[in-house]
Chains A and B, each alone.
Chain A
Amino acid sequence: MPRRSRSIQLAALAAGAALAMTGCNAAAKKDDSGGSAAKDAKAFTLVTPDPVGQNEFMKLAVSGVKAAAKAHGGGTPKVYQSSDTASQQQNLKAAVDSAPDVVVTVGFEFADAVAQQAEAHPKQQFLMVDACTTKTYQNVSCGVFREHEGVFLAGAEAGLLSKSGKVGAVDVLDTPQFRRYSDPFAAGAKHVAKKTSTATRFVGGQSPFDDSARAKEQAGSLISKGTDHVMAAAAAGNYGVFEAAKAKGAFAYGVDVNQCPAAPGTVVDNVVKRTDVAVEKGIGHILGGDAGKTVSYGLKEGGITLTGLEDGVASSKCVIARHEDVLKKIGELRDQIVAGKLKVDDPAAA
């Protein structure tokens, strides 16, 4: 079971704990026990904010580092798994101390810590995935995602599948960053079925990321008004949305990883973030001398996709696996977006 949706937390970046880092003056001591076999073998270290375990999102990041190591003749990459803010800081510092070619971090949790380390160690290359430092540094490269493109495709699926002609989304908060998960859903549904009516509910409240009971009520209020396809972008609340949809025979869409196993027969498809693609390509850019840039990954780069468009749909437990005709149309839409013929509006664009 995945951790609460990571991308949803991304925009909570500002609230991310910035513990005082006192170890800035610790000189980067060269660690010989890097374990690299060849002399000029490339070393990569991945620091995760959570234990990898069964976390699909982190597993993808690990396979991305491994693929990069293979592609660039590196030794077995090191993976430092953190479990809380303190161990995130320690692991990042340990990674910097061992001075690999690239230190890779995943998630908004590292934004402040990476900024500090990057300033203290200007020769160390960093790759941040799914987040970026607020200031730009020559030695920090970032990989971010264009989630809205995937959400648009999910919306198109909903538009094609909806029997009532009403689709909706349960989102976390009413901010431009989070609207990437609701506005394009409506746009996608309307693109394929003009008459579709759309609605969005925001969880809000005291802890919008954790409140599955509230998310369930929000989804329930949409469904009782006739909505039969609901985009779930409510972090931990997603499970509440799935419960509401299941109870009333409606359908839902997940985010980040394949959430279909949480409610087989209810979850239609998922907007998946391929962290492995962002990690592998990001390392490639840095080694190619193109560091310090922010690269965005969408449908074109294969960084954003739907479970239904990937291999293994048949065993994904997703409802979409039964609708090959719909998938065919969605594939065509994706090709149009990739070719630049169809543009998806980004609610977060300034």
Chain B
Amino acid sequence: MFDSDLVLSALRALTPILLAALGGALCERAGVFNIGLEGMMLMGCFTAVATSWFTGSPWLGVLAAALAAAAYSLILAVGAVTLKGDAVVLGVAMNLLAVGLTSFLLRTVFGVQGTFDDPDLLGLTEIAGFSPLTWLSWAAVGVAAVLLSRHAWGLRLRGVGEAPDAAATLGVSPTKYKYGAVLVSGVLCGLAGAQLALGNVTLFSENMTAGRGWIAVVAVMLGRALPLGVLLAALLFGLAEAAGFRLQGLGLPQQATDAAPYVVTLIALFLTTARRRRTTGASA
């Protein structure tokens, strides 16, 4: 069952999760707990499909998805940073609103319910075997890793997240950095949505993100909000999902293969916390 098909399938599952999780990681570092990834991604899905359909250009669809999701992320930025609201409540609200809003728009803009699908809807063309957004997501991991660990912006962003008062006394505006992190996470989630709706498949259906945003939230935690850690965690989920399909082929019931990502999460959590406890124990 371990063949090139499995790897390709896992990589296709990886891209949307990775893009969203990177956004979530940036927010985490800036001290904003972002669980609105799912909703932002869904907004991206719809905007990408609608824009590609009306302009005939999937590229404009990707651009519009990034902008729309960034605009949508302002709910979290204004609510959690400026108004000091609870980010968890806001995130849940954003996820619920996105499902309702996109279903409503689907009905008003396209006059259909459930799914919009048309043979004439243009999706993204692959570059060297992968969607351009897949390549972009890997580049984004590198950029985020370098920025966070080597660049002054990254240092300030982390400072804002860990000790906002200390950062403010040094002349760094926590508000500005937090807004920046949330908006960038919006852009990344918009790209994740565009990848899902114009890359993985070429259609929009209600609630099509189907929990990928939540998996991304878990990937942020599992990867400790480190870009490389997030990549590994997201890859783990991609592999678990792709392997799950194939386990069905070997006669495992669907209910059991459905559990694959969660079993993987538990094992990974167990292993990483065990290791961390050892290292903290040694340094103490």
Contacts and interface: CB of A to CB of B under 8 A. Distances in A.
B228 to A, nearest CB: 25
Contact of A206 (B114, B117, B200, B210): B210
B208 A213 contact: yes
A210 B111 CA distance: 18
Contact of A212 (B12, B113, B201): B201
A208 B208 CA distance: 10
Contacts of B239: none
Contacts of B203: 212, 239-240, 243
A221 B250 CA distance: 12
Contact of A239 (B107, B201, B206): B201
A220 interface: yes
Given A206-B211, A213-B196, A217-B12, A54 B201 contact: no
A95 interface: no
Contacts of B211: 205-207
Nearest to A200: B248
Interface size class of B (residues with CB under 8 A): 35 or more
Interface string A249-286: 00000000000001110000000000000000000000
Interface in B63-119: 107, 111-119
A-side interface mostly: loop
Interface string A192-230: 000000011110111100111110111011001100000
Given A1-B118, A204-B257, A205-B211, A217 B113 contact: no
A236 interface: yes
A262 B119 contact: yes
A51 B113 contact: yes
A55 interface: yes
A293 interface: no
Interface string B143-180: 00000000000000000000000000000000000000
Contact of A210 (B200, B206, B246, B253): B206
Nearest to B195: A213
B210 A207 contact: yes
B207 interface: yes
B210 A210 contact: yes
A220 to B, nearest CB: 7
Given A1-B117, A199-B249, A210-B205, A174 B111 contact: no
Contact of B206 (A217, A236, A240): A236
Contact of B205 (A4, A51, A224): A4
B115 to A, nearest CB: 5
Contact of A1 (B115, B210, B241, B244): B115
Contact of A50 (B113, B246, B254, B255): B113
A201 B117 contact: no
Given A204-B257, A221-B9, A1 B248 contact: no
Interface in B240-270: 241-242, 244-246, 248-249, 253-255, 257-258
Interface of B: 5, 9, 12-13, 107, 111-119, 196, 200-203, 205-208, 210-211, 214, 241-242, 244-246, 248-249, 253-255, 257-258
23 contacts: A1-B117, A4-B114, A4-B205, A4-B206, A50-B113, A174-B255, A204-B254, A205-B210, A206-B210, A207-B211, A210-B210, A212-B201, A213-B208, A214-B210, A214-B241, A216-B200, A218-B245, A220-B9, A221-B5, A224-B5, A239-B115, A239-B201, A264-B119
Q: Which 9 A-B pairs have the closest CB atoms?
A: A206-B211, A202-B254, A4-B114, A236-B205, A211-B210, A174-B254, A3-B114, A213-B200, A239-B117
